[in-house]
Structure 1
Amino acid sequence: MTSHFSNSTAPVYIRQKQLIPGIVPISAATLWRWVAAGKFPAPIKLGERVTAWLSVDVQRWLDAQNGANQI
């Protein structure tokens, strides 16, 4: 499986602007519905107005989606 992210050992964060539509082709409203329903990883609050996802969490989710589509 091809990774969309760096193989760095330091945490890599992805902001919503990078995530949609480049990595996950859905709307922001759908993303937040999926987060609330547990269908997408929860973001991490980095500051008062800064929320981001760990790239490893997003990559695991993408891998799981690709695996489910291969059935």
Structure 2
Amino acid sequence: MAHPPAPTLPNFASPFDSTSAVPGLAAPFDPATTLIRMPRLEIVTGFKRSTIYKLMQCPDSGFPQPVKLSNSTARGAPVAWVLSEVQSWVKSRIEARDRVAA
């Protein structure tokens, strides 16, 4: 017996798109209100999870702190980071590099 075809899902916008592809949502993409989870954070920063958590422990790094996504206090409770804060941190690293090179 043949299986029915898998349902297709709409192509929702990536957090890196400039406008939303979500039907009925005409507002442009806003990094200040977009939360990204660890896999996307690793892509944006180029760091792995362990390095990200080390940076978060060091106040001098200026690395953004996560937003809790639940009221759980358990280790491993879901968190995410504000995309605009991560982008600002990355830009500050680029500017620091440029200051040293000058």
Give the TM-score range, shorter chain. 0.7 to 0.9
Deviations 1:8-56 (A, max 9, x none): 2761001011111x11112211110100112211111011321000011
> SS where residue 45 of structure 2 aligns?
coil
Q: Work out which of the two has the higher radius of gyration on C-alpha atoms and give 1 or 2.
A: 2
Please report the TM-score for the alignment, with normalisation by the length of structure 1.
0.79
Please name the residue that 2:65 is paired with: 42
Choose the corresponding residue for 1:25, options 46, 51, 54: 46
> d(CA) in 1 for partners of 2:38 and 2:50?
11
Q: Does 1:70 align with 2:98?
A: yes
Gaps of 5+ in 1: none
- Paired residues in the alignment total 67
Percent identical among aligned pairs is 27
RMSD: 2.0
Tell me: higher relative CO, structure 1 or 2? Use CA pairs within 8 A at least 6 residues apart.
1
Gaps of 5+ in 2: 1-14, 19-28
